[in-house]
């Protein structure tokens, strides 16, 4: 359930589902998100679900914070059927050219490079949400000893395909973009395909993802 | 006769933009659309177009284009220096005034003046591909018309439904530069020390060179965080001011990432957004705190002002 609703600026609601970040809280967020999406409430223009928050942005020309807040508080939650979940394998190359922040992680985590990869690869991760840039999946949970903060100053350009870690999560940069995650490798596959109108995302919230290491040679020939 | 523009020089960041796209934040696709909505709407209004018609947006240096086809009207809005090059003469153009051009004429959009964005609209339709209900180009995600790419030198822009405007329309309007950006406290306001909060609202910041359609990084005194320099990644909206660990604020703009993990110290009010995006690198700004109800009133006033300008054209 929503624990608290406040305003984010003058054109959005900030719905807080509690501090805990786990699959249960996240499922609540997704439930609200799917219900609201279906209901198409007048004036709401965007919904952004995340681990434990839902941001609802609206058109200030048509409505305002108090009106939308009332509607959310009185929302009748129907049971929404979730789409079938997928298990997706992502190839990753961890060559020096791609593992931009492995040195930083070795220091921050006090772990050797090989140990970091051993902890990370071939494990199942749950997709909590997608976004930041088109199609970027937020995957959890990393082992406790694998959790590091973001870079102090985010990079202006993170290469497309970069796989990054921060806190209990991993992600994949679907495009070249600014970003502050610790980059440990790169995948040659397309995670977001804008030519698909219905489902441009390879990975959706609720799916499971496993990273499989590939060689540099394999990486180079991957799309041939 | 086919009508089209030949792009002789693409300019720095020239894209097609319209009202933007809704309901895609959850997969990571931002709103996009024209950065300065008022100037976008005025461009279409000056030609009697529907207000959500696609236009060409440019930043700093605009394009140099040559027209081929039947007579057509165009208008440029913003604070822009441009030339109309006819076969026999050249004139320096005025913004907010429509002009008729003929086959072979060129328009040289030299630069924006002490601002960033300008708009070019025509009394016809650009031949564009729509993606998720909008032709707005998002170059980072390669979404929208023109294959999601900036308008480049040597490309062609096809036009249909050409008809010149019969009446000269003109608007007396000057873009005023904003110095105080009004903000509502952000959801992580209490992450910052009293000193940090004071710094945010009392000290001057400078727009850095790292400013584009995605965001604007500021430089100035560092804002001290006493709780945590990271938060759980969560949704963003345009106008959110995030402060990463280095203490320098970043303002999210129309092509922003939909999710972010830095504490939010404030959100720029909707009424000040159009003026905010026009601040070029080196501009100085100060933030001023404001309550939600006042922000709502100010937005209504801002909208009324825009409507008044439009009604002067009828």
Q: What is the pLDDT of residues B263-272, one digit of tens each?
A: 999 999 999 9
Cβ contact, residue pair B232, A50, below 8 Å: yes
Query: What residue ranges do the domains of chain B occupy?
Result: 3-162, 181-309
Distance from CA of A49 to the nearest CA of B (A): 6
Q: Which residue of A has its CA nearest to B20?
A: A45
Q: Is A43 left (phi over 0), alpha (psi -120 to 50) or beta?
A: left
In the structure, what pLDDT confidence band is assigned to residue A146 with cuts at 50, 70 and 90?
A: very high
Q: Determine the topology of domain A87-221 in CATH.
A: Cyclophilin (2.40.100)
* Cβ atoms B173, B96 nearer than 8 A: yes
- Which of A18, A134, A179 to substitute to test the interface with B, most B CBs within 10 Å? A134
Contacts of B296 in chain A (CB under 8 A): 10, 60, 64-65
Pick the residue from chain A with its C-alpha nearest to B271: A10
Q: How far is A123 from chain B (nearest CA, A)?
A: 22
B244·A50 Cβ contact <8 A: no
Domain ranges of chain A: 4-73, 87-221
Reduce the secondary structure of chain A to three states and give it as a string.
Answer: CCCEEEECCCCEEEEECCCCCCHHHHHHHHHHHHHHHHHCCCCEEEEEECCCEEEEEECCCCCCHHHHHHHHHCCCCCCCCCCCCCEEEEEEECCCCCCCCHHHHHHHHCCCHHHHHHHHCCCEEEEEEECCCCCCEEEECCCHHHCCCCCCCCEEEECCCEEEEECCEEEECCCCEEECCEEEEECCCCCECCCCCCCCECCCCCCEEEEEEECHHHHHCCCC
CA distances from B134 to A50, A220, B22 (A): 25, 35, 9
Residue A81 neighbours by CB under 8 Å, 6+ apart: none
How many other C-beta atoms can be found within 10 angstroms of the C-beta atom of residue A82? 13
Average pLDDT, chain A: 93
Q: Does A11 sit within 8 Å of B233, measured CB to CB?
A: no
Phi/psi-derived region of residue B48, left when phi > 0, alpha when psi is between -120 and 50, beta in every other case: left
Query: Which residues from A are below 8 Å from B28, CB to CB?
Result: 130-136, 174, 192, 201
Q: For residue range B107-155, what is the model confidence (pLDDT) as tens digits?
A: 999 999 999 999 999 999 999 999 999 999 999 888 999 999 999 999 9
CATH class of the domain at A4-73: alpha beta
Which of B140, B235, B244 is opposite residue A177, by nearest beta carbon?
B140
User: Nearest Cβ partner of B28 from A21, A135, A178?
Assistant: A135
State the pLDDT confidence band at A81, using cuts at 50, 70 and 90.
low
CATH class assigned to B181-309: mainly beta
Examine domains A4-73 and A87-221 and report if their fold is the same. Answer: no
Interstrand relation of A124-130 and A87-93 (parallel, antiparallel or unpaired): unpaired
ipTM of this model?
A: 0.94
Global confidence as pTM = 0.91
């Amino acid at each position: 359930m929503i624990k608290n609703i406040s305003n984010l600026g003058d054109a959005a609601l900030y719905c807080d589902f509690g501090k805990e970040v786990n699959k249960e809280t996240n499922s609540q967020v997704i439930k609200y998100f799917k219900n609201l999406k279906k209901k198409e409430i007048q004036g709401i223009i965007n919904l952004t679900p995340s681990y434990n928050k839902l941001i609802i942005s609206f058109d200030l020309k048509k409505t305002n914070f108090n009106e939308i807040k009332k509607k959310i508080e009185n929302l009748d939650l129907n049971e929404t059927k979730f789409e079938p979940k997928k298990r997706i394998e992502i190839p990753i190359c961890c060559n020096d050219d791609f593992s931009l922040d492995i040195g930083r992680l070795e220091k921050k985590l006090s772990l050797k490079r090989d140990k970091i990869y051993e902890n990370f690869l071939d494990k199942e991760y749950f997709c909590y949400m997608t976004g930041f840039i088109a199609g970027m999946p937020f995957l959890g949970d990393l082992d406790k000893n694998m959790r590091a903060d973001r870079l102090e100053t985010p990079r202006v350009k993170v290469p497309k395909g970069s796989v990054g870690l921060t806190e209990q999560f991993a992600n994949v940069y679907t495009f070249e973009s600014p970003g502050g995650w610790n980059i440990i490798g790169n995948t040659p596959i397309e995670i977001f395909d804008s030519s698909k109108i219905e489902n441009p995302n390879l990975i959706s919230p609720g799916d499971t993802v496993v990273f499989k290491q590939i060689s540099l040679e394999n990486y180079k020939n991957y799309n041939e | 006769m086919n009508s089209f523009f030949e792009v002789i020089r693409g300019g720095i960041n020239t894209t097609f933009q319209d009202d933007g796209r809704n309901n895609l934040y959850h997969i990571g696709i931002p709103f996009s659309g024209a950065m300065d909505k008022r100037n976008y709407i005025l461009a279409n209004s000056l030609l009697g177009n529907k207000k959500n018609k696609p236009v060409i947006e440019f930043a700093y240096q605009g394009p140099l284009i040559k027209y081929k086809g039947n007579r057509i009207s165009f208008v440029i809005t913003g604070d822009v220096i441009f030339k109309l090059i006819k076969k026999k003469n050249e004139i320096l153009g005025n913004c907010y005034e429509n002009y008729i051009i003929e086959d072979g004429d060129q328009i040289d959009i030299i630069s924006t003046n002490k601002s960033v964005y300008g708009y070019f609209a025509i009394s016809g339709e650009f031949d564009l591909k729509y993606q998720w209900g909008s032709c707005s180009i998002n170059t980072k995600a390669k979404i929208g018309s023109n294959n999601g790419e900036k308008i480049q030198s040597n490309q062609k822009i096809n036009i249909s439904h050409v008809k010149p405007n019969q009446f000269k329309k003109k608007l007396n309007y000057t873009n005023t530069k904003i110095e105080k950006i009004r903000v509502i406290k952000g959801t992580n306001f209490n992450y910052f020390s009293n000193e940090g909060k004071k710094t945010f609202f009392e000290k001057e910041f400078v727009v850095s060179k790292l400013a584009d359609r995605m965001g604007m990084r500021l430089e100035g005194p560092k804002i001290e965080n006493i709780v945590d320099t990271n938060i759980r990644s969560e949704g963003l909206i345009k106008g959110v001011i995030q402060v990463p660990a280095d203490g320098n604020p970043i303002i999210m703009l129309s092509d922003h990432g939909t999710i972010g993990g830095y504490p939010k110290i404030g959100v720029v009010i909707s009424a000040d957004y159009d003026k905010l995006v026009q601040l070029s690198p080196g501009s100085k700004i100060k933030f001023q705190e404001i309550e939600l109800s006042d922000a709502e009133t100010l937005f209504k006033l801002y909208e009324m002002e825009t409507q008044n300008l439009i009604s002067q054209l009828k």
